[in-house]
Chains A and B, each alone.
Chain A
Amino acid sequence: MPIILATDLFVYLLVAAGAYFVVKTRGAGQAADVLRELRKRRLTMAALTVLAIYAGVALMDSVRWRDALDSDVAAGNNGRIYSPEALSLLDRALGGLRLAQEKTYSSPLASRLFTKENALLASGEVRREYAPLKYPGIHLLGTDKVGSDVLYMAVKGVRTAIIIGAGATIIIIPFAIFFGVIAGYFGGVIDDVIQYVYTTLASIPGVLLIVAFMLLFGNRGYQGGSVAPDDVVLGVFVPNDRLMWLCLILGITSWTDLCRLIRGETLKLRELEYVQAARALGAGKLRIIYAHVVPNLMHLVVITFVLQFSSLVLAEAVLSYIGIGVGPQTGSWGNMINTARLELSRAPVVWWNLAGAFAGMFFLVLPANVFADAVRDALDPRLRNR
């Protein structure tokens, strides 16, 4: 029985957008030009590959279903009973890691636990020693406090990060472009009102706003872990309030910067001679905006997208750290970092939890930056054919 979380929709949307681009690149047109340009640089292609892997992981982690329990209970119940756990494709693929539960910490690739514990020897004697692991050798990044595999946790963090990054930017970009462009292009009262709104928003400390919203709305719906039967709407759909609201509120607090940039740039573009020429040709306002203004703003959008994306992923970590991020049962790098706080202060330092989260972030944020630079250049005909 399939289960679709509200936030899965973001991932589907992202993957659909990627697929749409790939389809567009077949044939001639701007998309094909852009792709040809991107393929020229090996670094870009490497970044793209890494990003595609991340997207794939996020997608696998967003396709989930509940298994039917074919126990006697079910038969007796005159119907089928489903397990409360809605495992994703990723969970199933990494089943080995997911189920390879140890007792507690073990360092990467260790064969024994990280801490000593009492062991009952055959002689009846009790000794303190490093107990051997149940699944030695498979924990590439060690295990955490409750014995879960750190690599598995880091991989589970991918979906959360991408949802926050993509979800929030999906809100930011249309808002910022829409309001920035109309403020800059139409000016006058419209401009005044929009400027007033975003100045006000920007002057409220973002964190306060986020805390308030999360406390108000963030405690309903799916929180990670098992799916409660009450949460299921329409048979398959599960609202995912906490993560949803986090995206929404992060989006609302961060569209103002881009909006301001876009407004300024539009003010400049509006006066350029090619816009005047288009007006002389009878082009209406809408046409000018979509044909001449927005394409010439894209470089700003692309750069800001990546900077925002990176800072949103980091913001998730910070918010989880102060306890208002995603739910504790949702795998996220923020949660991992949050727990690493105590681990770093232990006598022999437990560093792999932090390292796992860090590696996850690093290999997302760095290629994203590389890729965005390349996209920006590829979008600009002046920089092609260099």
Chain B
Amino acid sequence: MKESQTPVVEVIGLKTYFRSSSGVARAVDGVSFGIRKGSTFALVGESGCGKSVTALSIIGLIDRHSGWIEGGKVRLGNEELTSLDESTMRQVRGMRVSMIFQEPMTSLNPVICVGEQVAEGIRLHQKASKQDARVITVAMLSRVGFDEPERIYRAYPHTLSGGQRQRVMIAMAVACKPELLIADEPTTALDVTIQEGIVRLIKEMQSETSMAVLLITHNMALVYKNADEVGVMYAGKIVEAGSVKTLFSKPLHPYTIKLLRSMPVAGQRTHALDAIRGSVPDAASYPSGCRFSGRCPREMAGCAQKEPELVLRGQEHGHPVACHLYDAPFMASRSARLVASAEGVPAPLDKTHNERPVLLEVRNLKTWYPIRRGLFKRVVGHVKAVDGISLSIRKGMTLALVGESGCGKSTAGKSIIRLITPDAGEVLYMGKDLCAMKEGELRPLRRRMQMIFQDPYSSLDPRRTIMNTVGEGLEILYPEMSRRSRIAKTASVLERVGLGYDALNRYPHEFSGGQRQRIGIARALAVEPEFIVCDEAVSALDVSVQAQILNLLKSIQLDMGIAMLFITHDLGVVEYMADEVAVMYDGKIVEHGNVEEIFARPRHEYTKKLLAAVPRIDSALIESLKLPVVPAAWP
């Protein structure tokens, strides 16, 4: 596959800065890498460490009002891209470098049929006539896997599914045979089951045109399966780079190791995930010295003084890494005294798997949404979102509900705790049927059942303080509680989820996504429920934050014996969190049982497809990763 050794594109010491309210944000601060013809380079790292800005700098799309390229070069062939003016750059864009974005809906014009949009680029860049462009477009559409390219040509973006739109974007991007294709989170907005397909399509296109691909994603499994080389980015810099094989089997940088170890996999079940503490520093105020200092589990005395450089340290380490641990002179000096607080082995989570009593039983639950049409809004049909499901949830155990988007998972979760009134069936909770109850009778039971939501941004009322948000349930469900004990209770719940007392009087926007999710969890916990529905509670979070939240949920479950219905599409999370799993397809449960069994021996067609479509990293590989050992401390 590697056809030549000279890189097609070479980024040398790239620096991109932004003006922000807290000073100059050094979003990209000296990044260098090269991508060879026909190979795929992946950039990984937590959110906000500069991956997208790197991509936008290469293609010259940095917002000129707030940002600028401070230094460095981007060499494409023998052209230097950062010094080109806008009109020349426009020639390069689409012709020699093209880009696929995360959200395919916003990158297509909604009022022009997709074929025209693809053809437009071809006409512009290849000087083709209208007819020719059309022919080429149709051929391209069939090459990206559409069976009826003519029909797709005339389709408008909103009539296509997310995956189809992304295919159109790919057709558009590769139509002019670019030398470099940048894919920034190309699959994040898509359903799990089709993510791999899209990446494989990019690979196919790559083998046909032998273009170089820059893949940006936070999905490590995708990188593991599809990239050739990886750069791990942290705080505007690449901290470790190398081939996928060496990087995943022998990661060197503590950040890379921690990042990989935060991934939930089956083998980790028995203990807490090895989450990275803290969060990515603000781009306007990086810590001095090594930027990972403060979060690093191997931080040494000299780390905060001297910044490590990204260099290849002799043969024994194999690939470049920016960490003092691999710098022999540094390690021989006094600076090598370990200062990071001992971060023990992740706490083992003991969970006995013996049979527990059933807490909640769902029988033949149906929730249909009416479809109304016409002047008098007559019901012309139903969307059978939940179509007769039966489940049972045991005390203190976790049942995962998986399935593709739109199969009715969330509706099922909400119907069970009666946020939506189901049309038929029963939900038996301690022998009582929730579905038959009136809103008023249900209220006392609300103490027992809570929900945690997906989106940490829309799940908190922006105009209420944390005290009011978390205390609301107490106010409603425990009206006899005095104000003082309510505040005390709220503060203690906040402390349980890892937030300080000072959070009480602040507003949601002052918190990061992960912290907001903790607040959402605190809100549910405050009323001391026995059962919680977690609707994609960690899907919107970064791997590292996700690990923190999963740990929190798991430890809470152990402490309080809470049963959970964990709705997710992430199979890694399922393997790590759940005791049992129910697979949902088209409003029905197609398989229900023990996690290990179902993952090992799926019986239903859909389960097999799901398991095959979602890339996962070998659990043993992740478990085998260990942080490097710092030699005995200096006297």
Interface residues of A (CB under 8 A from B): 272-274, 276-284, 287, 291-292, 295-296, 379-382, 386
Which residues does chain B contribute within 8 Å of A284, judged by CB atoms?
Answer: 439
Whole-angstrom distance between the alpha carbons of A383 and B453 in the complex?
25
Q: Which of A281, A291, A292, A295 contacts B473 (CB 8 A)?
A: A281
Q: Which residue of chain B lies nearest to A28 when distances are taken between CB atoms in the complex?
A: B505
Whole-angstrom distance between the alpha carbons of A296 and B463 in the complex?
7
Contact assessment for A282 and B476 in the assembled complex, using a CB-CB cutoff below 8 Å = yes
Contact assessment for B462 and A382 in the assembled complex, using a CB-CB cutoff below 8 Å = yes
Which residues does chain A contribute within 8 Å of B439, judged by CB atoms?
Answer: 284
Question: Beyond A276-B414, A276-B451, A287-B476, is A281–B464 a contact (Cβ under 8 Å)?
Answer: no
B437 to chain A, nearest CB (A): 12
Whole-angstrom distance between the alpha carbons of A281 and B529 in the complex?
10
B414 to chain A, nearest CB (A): 7
B442 to chain A, nearest CB (A): 8
A64 to chain B, nearest CB (A): 42
- Size category, B interface: 20 to 34
Contact assessment for B451 and A280 in the assembled complex, using a CB-CB cutoff below 8 Å = yes
Which residues does chain A contribute within 8 Å of B419, judged by CB atoms?
Answer: 276, 279-280
Whole-angstrom distance between the alpha carbons of A295 and B459 in the complex?
16
Whole-angstrom distance between the alpha carbons of A279 and B419 in the complex?
7
A269 to chain B, nearest CB (A): 10
A10 to chain B, nearest CB (A): 29
Q: What are the interface flags for B430-451 relative to A under an 8 Å C-beta threshold, 1 for contact and 0 otherwise?
A: 0000000001001100110111
Whole-angstrom distance between the alpha carbons of A281 and B507 in the complex?
20
Contact assessment for B520 and A277 in the assembled complex, using a CB-CB cutoff below 8 Å = yes
Which residues does chain B contribute within 8 Å of A280, judged by CB atoms?
Answer: 417, 419, 446, 449-451, 524
Which residues does chain A contribute within 8 Å of B461, judged by CB atoms?
Answer: 274, 278, 291-292, 295-296
Question: Beyond A282-B443, A295-B463, A381-B462, is A276–B453 a contact (Cβ under 8 Å)?
Answer: yes
Q: What are the interface flags for B507-546 relative to A under an 8 Å C-beta threshold, 1 for contact and 0 otherwise?
A: 1010000000000100110010000000000000000000
Q: Which residue of chain B lies nearest to A30 when distances are taken between CB atoms in the complex?
A: B463
Question: Beyond A272-B458, A273-B454, A381-B509, is A278–B463 a contact (Cβ under 8 Å)?
Answer: no
Contact assessment for A281 and B477 in the assembled complex, using a CB-CB cutoff below 8 Å = yes
Tell whether B472 is near chain A: CB-to-CB under 8 Å: yes
B282 to chain A, nearest CB (A): 16
Contact assessment for A283 and B472 in the assembled complex, using a CB-CB cutoff below 8 Å = yes
B419 to chain A, nearest CB (A): 6
Tell whether B460 is near chain A: CB-to-CB under 8 Å: yes
Which residues does chain B contribute within 8 Å of A295, judged by CB atoms?
Answer: 461, 463-464
Which residues does chain B contribute within 8 Å of A386, judged by CB atoms?
Answer: 21
Which residues does chain A contribute within 8 Å of B476, judged by CB atoms?
Answer: 281-283, 287
A201 to chain B, nearest CB (A): 21
**Cβ < 8 Å to A, chain B residues 80-124:** none
Which residues does chain B contribute within 8 Å of A277, judged by CB atoms?
Answer: 451, 453, 459, 520, 523-524
A190 to chain B, nearest CB (A): 14
A210 to chain B, nearest CB (A): 32
Which residues does chain A contribute within 8 Å of B449, judged by CB atoms?
Answer: 280
**Total A-B residue pairs with C-beta atoms closer than 8 Å?**
73
Q: Which residue of chain B lies nearest to A385 when distances are taken between CB atoms in the complex?
A: B510
Which residues does chain A contribute within 8 Å of B417, judged by CB atoms?
Answer: 280
Tell whether B455 is near chain A: CB-to-CB under 8 Å: yes
19 inter-chain pairs at a CB distance below 8 angstroms, sorted by A residue, are A273-B455, A273-B458, A276-B451, A277-B520, A278-B472, A279-B419, A280-B419, A280-B450, A280-B451, A280-B524, A281-B450, A281-B527, A282-B443, A282-B476, A291-B472, A295-B463, A295-B464, A381-B463, A382-B507
**Cβ < 8 Å to A, chain B residues 463-486:** 463-464, 469, 472-473, 476-477
Which residues does chain A contribute within 8 Å of B462, judged by CB atoms?
Answer: 296, 380-382
Which residues does chain A contribute within 8 Å of B459, judged by CB atoms?
Answer: 272-274, 277
Given contacts A277-B451, A280-B446, A291-B461, 14 further A-B contacts (CB under 8 A): A272-B458, A272-B459, A273-B453, A273-B455, A274-B469, A280-B449, A280-B451, A281-B446, A282-B446, A291-B472, A296-B463, A381-B462, A381-B463, A381-B509
Q: Which residue of chain B lies nearest to A272 when distances are taken between CB atoms in the complex?
A: B458
Decide if the interface of chain A is mainly helix, strand, loop or mixed: helix
Contact assessment for A282 and B464 in the assembled complex, using a CB-CB cutoff below 8 Å = no
Q: Which residue of chain A lies nearest to B439 when distances are taken between CB atoms in the complex?
A: A284
Whole-angstrom distance between the alpha carbons of A204 and B476 in the complex?
45
Which residues does chain B contribute within 8 Å of A382, judged by CB atoms?
Answer: 462, 507, 509
Q: Which residue of chain B lies nearest to A283 when distances are taken between CB atoms in the complex?
A: B476
Q: Which residue of chain A lies nearest to B442 when distances are taken between CB atoms in the complex?
A: A282
Whole-angstrom distance between the alpha carbons of A280 and B461 in the complex?
14
A31 to chain B, nearest CB (A): 14
Question: Beyond A273-B454, A273-B455, A276-B451, is A281–B472 a contact (Cβ under 8 Å)?
Answer: yes
Whole-angstrom distance between the alpha carbons of A148 and B520 in the complex?
67
Q: Which residue of chain B lies nearest to A293 when distances are taken between CB atoms in the complex?
A: B461
Q: Which residue of chain A lies nearest to B450 when distances are taken between CB atoms in the complex?
A: A280
Which residues does chain A contribute within 8 Å of B442, judged by CB atoms?
Answer: 282
Which residues does chain A contribute within 8 Å of B455, judged by CB atoms?
Answer: 273
**Cβ < 8 Å to A, chain B residues 399-422:** 414, 417, 419
Which residues does chain A contribute within 8 Å of B454, judged by CB atoms?
Answer: 273
A107 to chain B, nearest CB (A): 50
Q: Which residue of chain A lies nearest to B440 when distances are taken between CB atoms in the complex?
A: A284
A224 to chain B, nearest CB (A): 44
B478 to chain A, nearest CB (A): 10
Which residues does chain B contribute within 8 Å of A274, judged by CB atoms?
Answer: 458-461, 469
Whole-angstrom distance between the alpha carbons of A273 and B524 in the complex?
13
Which residues does chain B contribute within 8 Å of A296, judged by CB atoms?
Answer: 461-463
Which residues does chain B contribute within 8 Å of A278, judged by CB atoms?
Answer: 461, 472
Whole-angstrom distance between the alpha carbons of A291 and B465 in the complex?
12
Which residues does chain B contribute within 8 Å of A283, judged by CB atoms?
Answer: 472, 476
Q: Which residue of chain B lies nearest to A295 when distances are taken between CB atoms in the complex?
A: B463
By CB atoms of chain B within 10 A, which of A273, A283, A291, A381 has the most? A273
Q: Which residue of chain B lies nearest to A386 when distances are taken between CB atoms in the complex?
A: B21
Whole-angstrom distance between the alpha carbons of A279 and B460 in the complex?
13
Whole-angstrom distance between the alpha carbons of A88 and B477 in the complex?
55
Q: Which residue of chain B lies nearest to A278 when distances are taken between CB atoms in the complex?
A: B472
Whole-angstrom distance between the alpha carbons of A386 and B20 in the complex?
12
Q: Which residue of chain B lies nearest to A285 when distances are taken between CB atoms in the complex?
A: B439
A297 to chain B, nearest CB (A): 10
Which residues does chain A contribute within 8 Å of B464, judged by CB atoms?
Answer: 291-292, 295
A-B pairs with lowest CB-CB distance, top 3: A282-B446, A273-B459, A381-B507
By CB atoms of chain B within 10 A, which of A379, A382, A386 has the most? A382
Whole-angstrom distance between the alpha carbons of A280 and B527 in the complex?
11
Q: Which residue of chain B lies nearest to A379 when distances are taken between CB atoms in the complex?
A: B463
By CB atoms of chain B within 10 A, which of A280, A291, A379, A382 has the most? A280
Whole-angstrom distance between the alpha carbons of A295 and B509 in the complex?
16
A255 to chain B, nearest CB (A): 24
Whole-angstrom distance between the alpha carbons of A386 and B417 in the complex?
40
Whole-angstrom distance between the alpha carbons of A350 and B428 in the complex?
84
Whole-angstrom distance between the alpha carbons of A380 and B473 in the complex?
23
Q: Which residue of chain A lies nearest to B444 when distances are taken between CB atoms in the complex?
A: A282
Whole-angstrom distance between the alpha carbons of A278 and B449 in the complex?
12
A233 to chain B, nearest CB (A): 44
A34 to chain B, nearest CB (A): 12
Which residues does chain B contribute within 8 Å of A292, judged by CB atoms?
Answer: 461, 464
Which residues does chain A contribute within 8 Å of B472, judged by CB atoms?
Answer: 278, 281, 283, 291
Q: Which residue of chain A lies nearest to B474 when distances are taken between CB atoms in the complex?
A: A281
Whole-angstrom distance between the alpha carbons of A242 and B147 in the complex?
73
A245 to chain B, nearest CB (A): 37
Whole-angstrom distance between the alpha carbons of A181 and B431 in the complex?
38
B200 to chain A, nearest CB (A): 34
